[in-house]
Chains A and B, each alone.
Chain A
Amino acid sequence: MARTAWRLTQGELLEWLEHLLREGRRIVAPVEEDGLRLFRAVHAATQVCLAPGKTRWSPKEFLFPRTETLFTYSADGGEVRLADAVGPETEQVLFGVRPCDAAGLCRLDAVFHGETADGLYARRRELTTVASLACDEAEPECFCTAVGGSPAGVDGSDLQLVAVGEGWIVRPLTRKGEALTASLRGRAPVPAPEDWAQAEERARRVAERIRQRPIAREWAAVLEASFGLPLWEALGRRCLGCSICTYVCPSCSCFDVQDSGNAWCGERCRSWDSCTFALFTRHASGHDPRPTQAARYRQRVLHKFAYFPLANDGQTMCVGCGRCVALCPVGMNVHESVQRVAAAARESVDARG
């Protein structure tokens, strides 16, 4: 069935959001806080910020929380009791998610929702509707088009909002999206052909502005073969080993599991972890298969652009949001690194004939 779309004014969009809030849904949307834009659960539609630009970090924490209790234990009189963590129960709407971030959620699905589904993630995913927001600006660090994305991409979106004129096109894409927009049926007009034309024109213009050289799907194998190139040492040299890149990333999904507690009670929880940390792969024996920061940087890049694509039909794990590029304390640029490594790897293959 062809899905319809709706044309809303700014006021009607806010009314619709208020309606969703009244229905008891948890709405997570970009808000301005202390000078930075972050995803937050909102309590009023007017808090939502849909201005050009992206949030400081991705909304992944609403599906894959920074820290999550897996189970708790208590011991009483020699009897140990385990209790599963209380899973999420409220329906949530991730509202105003940029297409790169929505695509990032698909990458998380591949990790947590693959052959063995992660129960807590799966439940949260089921309860989540993603309303993406097509981009009307490109920032200097953006490179979604280089990794198969688009400023109006719909991967991972249940519905998409597109700014046209002073208002919006609200376009359901999945059954969840339809459900969320059910209240608009019969109330809002459908977009005129010129609205669609305007939306398309804008998407094209924004995509044009992202002038980053593409990273071809075929490069995955080339990159995998680049493992031993000395170039990695030079590329990774200035990396300081924080985890800004991985924590702001829409698709990085590594975590650490830790027990904490005492003789009476405690918990097992998982918290975000990062391949860029020196402790990440260090064995109990002290041996570290990735002993240098350059080796850790190589791991991050190759996981995104070689290992993951080789196992997932060529799709890169990176979605090109560019946050790691913009926020790296020492200006590491993953897009540039991939270009340089791919070129060097091809050269070394050519040289070997």
Chain B
Amino acid sequence: MLQLARAAETPTAPPVAPEGWQPRIVALVCNWCTYAGADMAGTTRRSYPASVRPVRAPCTGRIDPLLIIKAFEQGADAVLVSGCHPGDCHYVQGNLVARRRFTALRALMEFLGVDGRRLHFAWVSASEGVKWSQLVEEVTAAVREAGPFQDWGRRADSRRPAVSLPAVAPAPRSTPSTAEQQGVAEHLQRLAATLLDEGRAAVVIGYAAGSLPGQMVPTFVTRPEDAGTLAWSDGCVNNLAVYLPRAQREWGKAAVVVKRCDARAAVGLLQEGQVRRENVVLVGVSCPGVLEHGRLALKCYPCDGEVASHCDFTVTPEGARPGVARSAATREVAADPRDALVAHLESLAPADRWGYWQDQFARCLRCYGCRAVCPLCYCAVCVAETNRPQWVPTRIDGQGNLVWNLTRALHLVGRCGGCDECARVCPADVRLDLLNHRLRLEVETRFGYRAGEDPAAAPPMVTFRPDDPQEFIR
């Protein structure tokens, strides 16, 4: 059923199950194993609660996490996903790839504060009618206990105090002197002029002084004589890799100035075939860190700023050299403050975490600034703009915004290199950096993968290992 807008200006108490309420559980099951298993439960006369609405998919590999989100958006109290046991997949490996996606979705839902009793995963084979009926009984009991899911897209209890994040530790270093920055700028200018002159690039994408005090903005230099407009300072916040696919279309060969964090995105674009290596010249700048709101950006705390390993040139205050080289600088680093912020949120009660994120998403204007600045959000048509079906509700409210933010975060799992541009530009200060960071930690710890390091590596969400952890799957 369609749920019309739920107003949330007046304080609301946590929902109470209405009399006679029956859980609505959407079961997304694969055709070959679990659907047959459910059939088996029927033919062997096993009874189980009628609370599940099975939806048959060809394979768990075809169960996009968006379907699970859609089920919640449409009013499901819980979702159960089930398919063939590992090794039994009709399509050999569909369930193994799916397992990674479910891992990410589950981590995200848990981080948002969704009650764990609302999302269940299982492997049920065609012969396991008994397992299926027991599973449905257990899941139904859990959902009964959790009650109706009425707070999708809003705070469960608006009387609970708003959660605020702890203060971040002081920055481990200050950014360098103007003279040093000027040195980098001069070497960049000379290198850019040479690249354009020798025809190694038709455009150099770099930074130029903006119109506000201390502001740096992206610029496109196409003539050697204009290279003097290139600048460098601790205000060079933009990730210029975002322009690479467009530059390749427009100019063919493009040189782009990248900080270490930006280079991860460039590697992602190469890895995913969005730009050809021969069309890109990566000009790595040894970066002492950038300032956001007058302080060192959080992503810079753990980063020594040395250029990334795939750069074609290294620019330091001392000069510009081909290849990758270390700078003369020694930069103090510190623990990633995003780790502590994520840990803090994880230490809260799920209901408070849910409240925190719903407050954040309620502010979201759906300007899609996060999408626009993300080098890896390169789709010609974003899922948010498809309307058959309408994956992301166009309503700019708690529900629509929740779906959009879940979708954005999920699409960047295993791909986001952590440049935090999305969070920097968000006019509503939604902590997208923390969502991405939490998922990055998940991918690192469970799949041993760090995004943006190896252009030849398979992205983690389109591959699998037979022994991927699956303790959350029954």
Interface residue ranges of B166-220 to A (CB < 8 Å): 210-213, 215-220
Instruction: Please name all residues of chain B whose beta carbon is closer than 8 Å to the beta carbon of A229 when the two chains form the complex.
Output: none
For the complex formed, measure the closest distance between the CB of B23 and the CB atoms of chain A, giving whole angstroms: 21
How far, in whole Å, are A330 and B77 apart by their CA atoms in the complex? 42
B302-310, B366-374, B456-464: which lies at the A interface? B366-374
For the complex formed, measure the closest distance between the CB of A323 and the CB atoms of chain B, giving whole angstroms: 8
Do B395 and A242 have beta carbons less than 8 Å apart?
no
> Chain B: interface secondary structure?
loop
Do B2 and A262 have beta carbons less than 8 Å apart?
yes
Instruction: Please name all residues of chain A whose beta carbon is closer than 8 Å to the beta carbon of B127 when the two chains form the complex.
Output: none
Interface residue ranges of A223-262 to B (CB < 8 Å): 237-238, 240-244, 246-248, 256, 258, 260-262
Nearest A residue to B430, CB-CB: A34
Q: How many residues of A contact B (CB 8 A)?
A: 48
Q: Among the listed A41, A264, A331, which residue makes an inter-chain contact with B1, where contact means beta carbons less than 8 Å apart?
A: A264
**A292-306: contact bitstring with B at CB < 8 Å (1 yes, 0 no)?**
000000000000000
Q: Are A34 and B372 also in contact (CB < 8 A) when A237-B220, A271-B394, A326-B212 are?
A: no
Do A330 and B397 have beta carbons less than 8 Å apart?
no
How far, in whole Å, are A66 and B2 apart by their CA atoms in the complex? 20
Do A240 and B373 have beta carbons less than 8 Å apart?
yes
Instruction: Please name all residues of chain A whose beta carbon is closer than 8 Å to the beta carbon of B365 when the two chains form the complex.
Output: 57, 66, 243-244, 247-248, 272
Residue from A34, A67, A269 having most chain B Cβ neighbours under 10 A: A34
**B1-25: contact bitstring with A at CB < 8 Å (1 yes, 0 no)?**
1101100010000000000000000
Q: Answer yes or no: A336 CB below 8 A from chain B CBs.
A: yes
How far, in whole Å, are A277 and B396 apart by their CA atoms in the complex? 16
Do B427 and A325 have beta carbons less than 8 Å apart?
no
Do B394 and A34 have beta carbons less than 8 Å apart?
no
Nearest B residue to A269, CB-CB: B395
Instruction: Please name all residues of chain A whose beta carbon is closer than 8 Å to the beta carbon of B421 when the two chains form the complex.
Output: 329
How far, in whole Å, are A255 and B158 apart by their CA atoms in the complex? 30
Do B395 and A329 have beta carbons less than 8 Å apart?
no
Do A41 and B9 have beta carbons less than 8 Å apart?
yes
Q: Answer yes or no: A69 CB below 8 A from chain B CBs.
A: yes
For the complex formed, measure the closest distance between the CB of B385 and the CB atoms of chain A, giving whole angstroms: 6
How far, in whole Å, are A35 and B372 apart by their CA atoms in the complex? 24
How far, in whole Å, are A246 and B2 apart by their CA atoms in the complex? 30
Q: Answer yes or no: A314 CB below 8 A from chain B CBs.
A: no
Q: Answer yes or no: A265 CB below 8 A from chain B CBs.
A: yes
Instruction: Please name all residues of chain B whose beta carbon is closer than 8 Å to the beta carbon of A332 when the two chains form the complex.
Output: 217
Q: Answer yes or no: B436 CB below 8 A from chain A CBs.
A: no
Instruction: Please name all residues of chain A whose beta carbon is closer than 8 Å to the beta carbon of B400 when the two chains form the complex.
Output: 67
Interface residue ranges of A58-97 to B (CB < 8 Å): 66-67, 69, 72
Instruction: Please name all residues of chain A whose beta carbon is closer than 8 Å to the beta carbon of B238 when the two chains form the complex.
Output: 329-330
Q: Are A333 and B210 also in contact (CB < 8 A) when A67-B397, A243-B368 are?
A: yes
Instruction: Please name all residues of chain A whose beta carbon is closer than 8 Å to the beta carbon of B360 when the two chains form the complex.
Output: 34
Instruction: Please name all residues of chain B whose beta carbon is closer than 8 Å to the beta carbon of A38 when the two chains form the complex.
Output: 363
Instruction: Please name all residues of chain A whose beta carbon is closer than 8 Å to the beta carbon of B428 when the two chains form the complex.
Output: 36, 56
Instruction: Give the interface size class of chain B.
Output: 35 or more
Instruction: Please name all residues of chain B whose beta carbon is closer than 8 Å to the beta carbon of A33 when the two chains form the complex.
Output: 162, 363
How many interface contacts (CB-CB < 8 Å) are there between A and B?
126
Do B397 and A242 have beta carbons less than 8 Å apart?
no
Do A238 and B367 have beta carbons less than 8 Å apart?
no
**A259-282: contact bitstring with B at CB < 8 Å (1 yes, 0 no)?**
011101111010110100101000
How far, in whole Å, are A333 and B217 apart by their CA atoms in the complex? 11
Q: Answer yes or no: B318 CB below 8 A from chain A CBs.
A: no
How far, in whole Å, are A312 and B110 apart by their CA atoms in the complex? 53
Q: Among the listed B218, B363, B390, which residue makes an inter-chain contact with A238, where contact means beta carbons less than 8 Å apart?
A: B218
Q: Answer yes or no: B164 CB below 8 A from chain A CBs.
A: yes
How far, in whole Å, are A172 and B98 apart by their CA atoms in the complex? 64
Q: Answer yes or no: B332 CB below 8 A from chain A CBs.
A: no
For the complex formed, measure the closest distance between the CB of A228 and the CB atoms of chain B, giving whole angstroms: 20
**B397-441: contact bitstring with A at CB < 8 Å (1 yes, 0 no)?**
100100000000000000000000100110111000000000000
Do B373 and A260 have beta carbons less than 8 Å apart?
no
Nearest A residue to B243, CB-CB: A238
How far, in whole Å, are A277 and B424 apart by their CA atoms in the complex? 20
Q: Among the listed B162, B367, B394, B427, which residue makes an inter-chain contact with A256, where contact means beta carbons less than 8 Å apart?
A: B394
Do A244 and B367 have beta carbons less than 8 Å apart?
yes
Instruction: Please name all residues of chain B whose beta carbon is closer than 8 Å to the beta carbon of A35 when the two chains form the complex.
Output: 429
Do B210 and A266 have beta carbons less than 8 Å apart?
no
Interface residue ranges of B209-259 to A (CB < 8 Å): 210-213, 215-220, 238, 242-243
Instruction: Please name all residues of chain B whose beta carbon is closer than 8 Å to the beta carbon of A326 when the two chains form the complex.
Output: 212
Residue from B213, B216, B390, B395 having most chain A Cβ neighbours under 10 A: B395
How far, in whole Å, are A271 and B164 apart by their CA atoms in the complex? 30
Q: Are A34 and B427 also in contact (CB < 8 A) when A67-B397, A243-B367 are?
A: no
Q: Are A260 and B220 also in contact (CB < 8 A) when A242-B368, A265-B1, A329-B373 are?
A: no
Do B212 and A331 have beta carbons less than 8 Å apart?
yes
How far, in whole Å, are A27 and B216 apart by their CA atoms in the complex? 39
Q: Answer yes or no: A53 CB below 8 A from chain B CBs.
A: no
Q: Answer yes or no: B393 CB below 8 A from chain A CBs.
A: yes
Instruction: Please name all residues of chain A whose beta carbon is closer than 8 Å to the beta carbon of B9 when the two chains form the complex.
Output: 41
Q: Answer yes or no: A49 CB below 8 A from chain B CBs.
A: no
Do B4 and A267 have beta carbons less than 8 Å apart?
yes
Residue from B2, B215, B218, B427 having most chain A Cβ neighbours under 10 A: B427
Q: Answer yes or no: A178 CB below 8 A from chain B CBs.
A: no
Nearest B residue to A234, CB-CB: B220
How far, in whole Å, are A307 and B164 apart by their CA atoms in the complex? 45
Nearest B residue to A140, CB-CB: B212
Do B217 and A330 have beta carbons less than 8 Å apart?
yes
Do B211 and A330 have beta carbons less than 8 Å apart?
no
Residue from B9, B365, B400 having most chain A Cβ neighbours under 10 A: B365
Interface residue ranges of B243-286 to A (CB < 8 Å): 243
Q: Answer yes or no: B359 CB below 8 A from chain A CBs.
A: yes
Q: Among the listed B212, B390, B397, which residue makes an inter-chain contact with A141, where contact means beta carbons less than 8 Å apart?
A: B212
Sample (27) of A-B pairs whose CB atoms are under 8 Å apart: A34-B162, A34-B359, A34-B363, A34-B429, A35-B429, A57-B365, A140-B213, A141-B212, A242-B367, A242-B372, A244-B367, A244-B369, A244-B425, A246-B367, A248-B365, A248-B367, A260-B2, A264-B2, A267-B2, A267-B4, A327-B425, A327-B427, A329-B369, A329-B421, A331-B210, A331-B211, A332-B217
Residues of B within 8 A of A (CB): 1-2, 4-5, 9, 162, 164, 210-213, 215-220, 238, 242-243, 359-360, 363, 365-369, 371-373, 385, 387, 390, 393-397, 400, 421, 424-425, 427-429
Task: Name 12 extra pairs, CB < 8 A, besides A34-B360, A237-B220, A271-B395.
Answer: A35-B429, A38-B363, A66-B396, A238-B218, A240-B372, A241-B372, A243-B369, A244-B369, A247-B366, A277-B368, A331-B215, A336-B211
